[in-house]
Structure 1
Amino acid sequence: MSSSDIFIGETIGTAILILLGAGVVAAVTLKHSKARDAGWLAITFGWGFAVLTGAYLAGGVSGAHLNPAVTLGLAIQGGTEWGDVPLYLVSQLFGAMIGAVLVWAVYYGQFRAHLTDPEIVDLQPVDDGMVDQKAAPQAGPVLGVFSTGPEIRNAVQNVLTEVIATVVLVLAILTQGLNDAGNGLGTLGALITALVVVSIGLSLGGPTGYAINPVRDLGPRIVHALLPLPNKGGSDWGYAWVPVVGPLIGGALAGGLYNLAFA
């Protein structure tokens, strides 16, 4: 597998993942969206289908990691060369940012209508730093479209939740076996992984919104900070380390557990 294969596959696959995943959150969240208030089931299944689509498109090109936690787990397990890891991570972050910009473009009118509605704007905190505990669920009126946030702000619990959920995801991927290229998911693996993501969302997503993917959270959060959205509020950088560190720990633990129990 060439460096260009990794870059193209991971960039496109992750961009599609975020476009469809963050897109379903926008559809459910924003005013003047036909899917507004469709609820948690729509979000969890939307993210599952987003994973399925991104993994299916990129599987034959780059192995469809689409997630640094998966890349790390595969490197520890032995299915991915350590020398390829930096390129995977950079490509995934770039793709996540592209996907977030595309969501903004698709829902441009809805973003503007939502963020100029007095009922919505009045809910946002003013500070761009650490968000007040009581205001955290409304931290930036549209931040939840781009990134995750906790319902109860407790760093230990939040990290532990992300670690456990990511171990489930990465271990489920590793125990499926690898595709013919030896570095990722085949077509059936993409479907199984998508269903696992839906299960994680339904069962473990309540506390933190189940990032389970560092670039899924960090890339769109950067885009949220940069986009010219009126009255968008802060990007909650005080929490941003949790959905990066937690999934990376989870991916590493899953790789080690696989080698101990399944190899």
Structure 2
Amino acid sequence: MSPFIGELLGTMILILFGAGVVAGVVLRGTKAENSGWIVITVAWGLGVTMGVYAVGSISDAHLNPAVTIGFALIGDFPWSEVPGYVSAQVTGAFIGASLIWLQYYPHFKKTEDEGAKLGVFATSPAIRHSPSNFFSEVLGTFVLVLGLLFIGANEFTEGLNPLIVGALIIAIGLSLGGTTGYAINPARDLGPRLAHFFWPIANKGSSDWAYAWIPIAGPVIGGGLGALFYSAAFEGVIYSALWLFIIFFAVVQGLTIVLERRKNISEEFKEDVIHRRKVDA
């Protein structure tokens, strides 16, 4: 099996478990309905574990463009293979999400909440605030890639590494995931969001493309910072890309703050105009 197929299958397995548990919890009429956040985070962690077990010996089981890019930035992965890995990860995520749609087909029909349906496929913020949402995805993926490198620096009994990686995902979900649903993986969000967009899901509503840039840009920047920080702090190798990523993060974070303030001013102005019209009437 080629590494491309390995990454595709591994990411598909990850999404089968991850999107599957969300569907079970949020869709109407399932036996797992309303079983809660703990159930979701544990299943996502186990999904990563199973994906790593499945293809770790074939492709090293990145299953995440942020991981692939982060490793490439510090010389642990060849840049020439990055496009192939990323395309395999997005494709695998799309296939996995499509299978979940078929698995829960009658439950999508029974569910009226459009947000719940989108939540099976893609992430969305608990409170929509672009500066905070972007920061959450950066921090979560920073911790993910840093944690993966910590795990790789230690020796475990053969076969335990995937379990430790799964535990890391559960910990991130429980500690940092409540704000945005912790995409921490551009493929995990983009592939299923595309599935939501393309397939004729009953009364599905919007795919929320206005938000979609955050679970892509945030993890890429956070993963790059995590890998570059690890190299500088723990290996003593400082890449020039570290400063570029710090600047990039600061610029994007600053833009989100400015745009959010403009949005708030615009909304306040509209509310003021409506209030004056009511008073005048």
Q: Tell me the TM-score normalized by structure 2.
A: 0.80
Change (3 A) 1:83 1:27: same
The answer for the alignment partner of 2:27 in structure 1 is 30
Identity %: 52
Identify the structure with the greater helix proportion: 2
The answer for the alignment partner of 1:101 in structure 2 is 98
Deviations, residues 177-224 of structure 1 (Å, cap 9, x unaligned): 279xxxxxx832211111011001101011100000001001000100
Give the root-mean-square deviation of aligned CA atoms. 1.6
Does the 8 Å CA contact 1:77/1:258 hold for their aligned counterparts? no
Does the 8 Å CA contact 1:176/1:189 hold for their aligned counterparts? yes
1:174 deviation in Å?
Answer: 1.4
Amino acid at match of 1:234: S
Does the 8 Å CA contact 1:100/1:223 hold for their aligned counterparts? yes
Deviations, residues 127-168 of structure 1 (Å, cap 9, x unaligned): xxxxxxxxxxxxx34000000000111111111111011011
The answer for the alignment partner of 1:177 in structure 2 is 152
Pick the aligned partner of 2:125 from 142, 147, 150: 150
The answer for the alignment partner of 1:50 in structure 2 is 47
1:196 corresponds to 2:182: no
Structure 1 CA distance, aligned partners of 2:120 and 2:66? Answer: 21
1:228 corresponds to 2:225: no
Does the 8 Å CA contact 1:24/1:43 hold for their aligned counterparts? yes
Structure 2 CA distance, aligned partners of 1:70 and 1:187? Answer: 20
The answer for the alignment partner of 1:245 in structure 2 is 217
**Structure 1 outlier segments of 4+, above 4 Å:** none
1:254 corresponds to 2:226: yes
Amino acid at match of 1:53: M
Does the 8 Å CA contact 1:48/1:195 hold for their aligned counterparts? yes
The answer for the alignment partner of 1:136 in structure 2 is none
The answer for the alignment partner of 2:58 in structure 1 is 61
Amino acid at match of 1:147: A
Q: Which runs of 5+ in 2 are unaligned?
A: 236-281
Q: Tell me the TM-score normalized by structure 1.
A: 0.85
The structure having more radius of gyration, on CA atoms, is 2
Pick the aligned partner of 1:212 from 171, 180, 184: 184
RCO (CA 8 Å, sep 6+): is it higher in 1 or 2? 1
Amino acid at match of 2:142: V
1:229 deviation in Å?
Answer: 1.1
Amino acid at match of 1:45: V
Does the 8 Å CA contact 1:72/1:255 hold for their aligned counterparts? no
Structure 2 CA distance, aligned partners of 1:108 and 1:37? Answer: 18
Does the 8 Å CA contact 1:10/1:88 hold for their aligned counterparts? yes
1:73 deviation in Å?
Answer: 1.3
Amino acid at match of 1:59: G
Structure 2 CA distance, aligned partners of 1:54 and 1:256? Answer: 25
1:9 corresponds to 2:6: yes
Q: Which runs of 5+ in 1 are unaligned?
A: 115-119, 125-139, 180-185
Amino acid at match of 2:147: A
Does the 8 Å CA contact 1:173/1:189 hold for their aligned counterparts? no
Aligned length: 233
Amino acid at match of 2:39: A
Deviations, residues 74-116 of structure 1 (Å, cap 9, x unaligned): 11222111111111100000000000001011111211222xx
Structure 2 CA distance, aligned partners of 1:200 and 1:14? Answer: 19
1:72 deviation in Å?
Answer: 1.1
Amino acid at match of 1:33: T
Change (3 A) 1:233 1:141: farther
